[in-house]
Structure 1
Amino acid sequence: MATADIPTADIPTACPLPHVSEQPAGAVRRGPLSAAAWREYGYVFTSFPLAIAGFVLAVTLFSLGAGLAVTVVGFPVLVALLAGARGLGAGERGRASGLLGLRTKEPAPVPAGGIKGRLADVAGWKAVLFQFVMFPWRIASFVVTLTLLLTGWVVALLPLYAWVFPTFVGWPGYQLFDWTDGAGVRHAYYLESFWQIGAASLVGIGLVLLTPVVVRALNRVDRAAVRGLLAG
């Protein structure tokens, strides 16, 4: 028996809901208590000892290799310098990726051709240059970051511990300065009133909010250096 085709109506499918990111707004992500901000701080603080170690390694091996270049001993030392700089560069790219979210390509492989080919390793010499260039910058970044971070939080939280100074130290308040001039006149200033302490706390809060912005700006130099000197 023949059967007639039964018309069917199209069944509407459920419309996909728009994707809503679980990440907070940009200002919150970059706030002083955000994970992104503390990763930036962590990058600066870990860069400090690495900068010292890398600079000492680069200066020592470069000076030794250049001084012994007139002999056959100097060239293997320079090859060791390039290999060490490449290793440190790989670690720097890894730190920049993990803490700053910077994705970079690996540099060109070490050229073949024995010692002569290795000494012509452009990527290796760029990695050596990175250690020299970034040493003073990372020392300065460490000092600026630590100063802003400590000063901001210490001053912002002043209302919580201002009572300690008159109670246990014998000062009327938080001492800003205390000195005696050549004429024997003493000059001292203390934050002791409610308004003085509150105003100081507001300044500290401003520094706390400003610190991640400054640190991110400092780390932009590191990002540029990693891209320009350590990446392919």
Structure 2
Amino acid sequence: MTTMTVDRLTAGAVQGGAARPGPHFLTAPFSGRTWREQGYLTLTLLLAPFALTYTIFAVSFTVGIAVTVVGLFVAGAVVLGGRGWGAVYRGLARELLDLDVAVPAPYVRPRGFWRTVGSLIGDATGWRALLFMLVTFPLAIIAFVTSVTVLFTGLGALTYGVWYRYLPAQADSEGTLHRGASFGIDYFIDTPPRILVAALVGLALFFCWPWITRMFALLFRVLTAGLLSPTRASLRVAELERSRTGTVEDADARLRSIERDLHDGTQARLVAVAMQLGEAREHLAEGGDVTQAAELVDTAHASTKEALTELRELARGIHPPALDSGLAVALETLAARSALPVTVDVDPSVEADGRLVPALESIAYFSVAELVTNAAKHARASGVYVLVESVDRTGGPDAALRIRVRDDGRGGAEVVAPDGSGQRSGLAGLAERVRSVDGTFDLSSPVGGPTVVTVTLPTARPAGPA
């Protein structure tokens, strides 16, 4: 089943190896994931002193240089440099922790001197990276020391029976010499039972080491995802910018299409009408054949009707006249003109409190029109069912308008993202249009059908008189 929801802003912002099945307890010490995580702890320990130094310098330098003006740019550049550190840590997490964190939106310099200074020093992404480096400094030390201590203690105890004989001899309280590790004055691990216990303890530590390492790696994952990923606000801004760009491109393409239709179709017909009427006038002025002049007028009359028909179709594509009577009437009219049997079910509550705003009605109408056209052209469907209802999405009455279009076609539909040339599928353009008004677009189209598309639009009523 193919499912797409364009309103999930944080989906895809953080993707990681959490979905991968973890190694078994007995194979964990030999797992590549364990050693990658240990490598991550080692590298973060090596970076930690430099990162802490940079963080302290950034804070102190920004505070100390704030009394000057030119120095503010330098301080802002230092804060902005935190983005580079964040990129380094995101790269380590991606390569060693299987955690793919989306890159925050790039810094864009605003216009104006003081706005530039404020945006540099107040760069949230840079400060969050500096906070990450400050918080992870003690964590890096504790994580590395603990994991390495457990690992080498376990290995040492596990192999103790091989190398304990080479330890220097020590005397107990009675003067007897012993070779081996000692606990206190008279307790030496130099007998077979004690050596066996040491090996068992070492074995336990060796198999516990991966999970201790994994615990610290999990803490780093949480901090990386929380401090080095884009914020929900920045994701929302980027989403709105993309949807606005797509909407502008679609509108421009639509205007160009209308211009071509007018130029190549209606305008050409009207030019032909003018020429035919001019020729008929010349015939009549010169006393020519009246019958031939009448034929020219009839031809011009027929061309005028065809031009009017084309203009009506163009106008209907811009704003269907049926929408003037409301969304329900417009959808019924659309269903009546469709090449497929279309059943329309509009909840009376949709327009119970008055008409919806024109922009919302237009998007709802063209969404249904696009989906019905797709069902007729591509899905090989025998019928389409359209349901329009009000739903409570945010806790208020009529908080959203939900449109569900279902066809019994062959399925397999998918939203194709724009390619390098900017071309997109009809469903992708529809999703962009829905997203431009903060709506959601869900597609469920398993191979063999049915295809169900659910569009949810935030509703708004036109403001009444004050």
* TM bin (shorter chain): 0.7 to 0.9
1:96 corresponds, among 80, 93, 117, to 93
Structure 2 counterpart of 1:12: none
Structure 2 counterpart of 1:119: 121
Shift of 1:30: 5.6
Q: Secondary structure at the match of 1:53?
A: helix
Structure 1 counterpart of 2:187: 189
Structure 2 counterpart of 1:46: 43
Gaps of 5+ in 1: 1-22, 179-186
Contact 1:58 1:131 in 2 (8 A): yes
Two-structure CA RMSD over aligned residues (Å): 2.0
**Distance in structure 1 (CA, Å) of the matches to 2:151 and 2:105:** 39
The reply on whether 1:174 has 2:171 as its aligned counterpart is no
Shift of 1:177: 3.3
**Distance in structure 1 (CA, Å) of the matches to 2:135 and 2:51:** 11
Output aligned runs, 1:61-140, within 5 Å.
Answer: 61-113=58-110, 114-140=116-142
Shift of 1:37: 1.0
Shift of 1:189: 1.9
Shift of 1:78: 2.4
Structure 2 counterpart of 1:149: 151
Shift of 1:73: 4.2
Structure 1 counterpart of 2:217: 219
Identify which of structures 1 and 2 has the higher relative contact order when contacts are C-alpha pairs closer than 8 Å and 6+ apart. Answer: 1
Contact 1:96 1:223 in 2 (8 A): yes
Contact 1:149 1:208 in 2 (8 A): yes
CA shift digits 1:50-109 (9 cap, x unpaired): 111111011012202211211124422322222221111101001001001001100122
Structure 1 counterpart of 2:204: 206
Structure 2 counterpart of 1:181: none
Shift of 1:133: 1.2
Q: Secondary structure at the match of 1:103?
A: strand
Q: Secondary structure at the match of 1:228?
A: helix
Contact 2:36 2:97 in 1 (8 A): yes
Contact 2:150 2:205 in 1 (8 A): yes
Report the AA paired with residue 99 of structure 1: L
Structure 2 counterpart of 1:36: 33
**Distance in structure 1 (CA, Å) of the matches to 2:73 and 2:151:** 44
CA shift digits 1:165-209 (9 cap, x unpaired): 3xxx2242322235xxxxxxxx23210111100110110110000
TM-score w.r.t. length of structure 1 = 0.79
**Distance in structure 1 (CA, Å) of the matches to 2:206 and 2:76:** 46
**Distance in structure 1 (CA, Å) of the matches to 2:194 and 2:183:** 15
How many residues end up aligned between the 2 structures?
A: 199
1:163 corresponds, among 162, 165, 188, to 165
**Distance in structure 2 (CA, Å) of the matches to 1:84 and 1:156:** 46
Q: 1:35 to 1:90 in 2, by over 3 A?
A: same
Contact 1:30 1:37 in 2 (8 A): no
Contact 1:29 1:35 in 2 (8 A): no
Bigger strand share: 2
TM-score w.r.t. length of structure 2 = 0.41
Q: 1:91 to 1:29 in 2, by over 3 A?
A: farther
Q: Secondary structure at the match of 2:101?
A: coil
Gaps of 5+ in 2: 1-19, 111-115, 171-177, 231-466
Identity %, equivalent residues: 32
Shift of 1:128: 1.2
Q: 1:30 to 1:213 in 2, by over 3 A?
A: farther
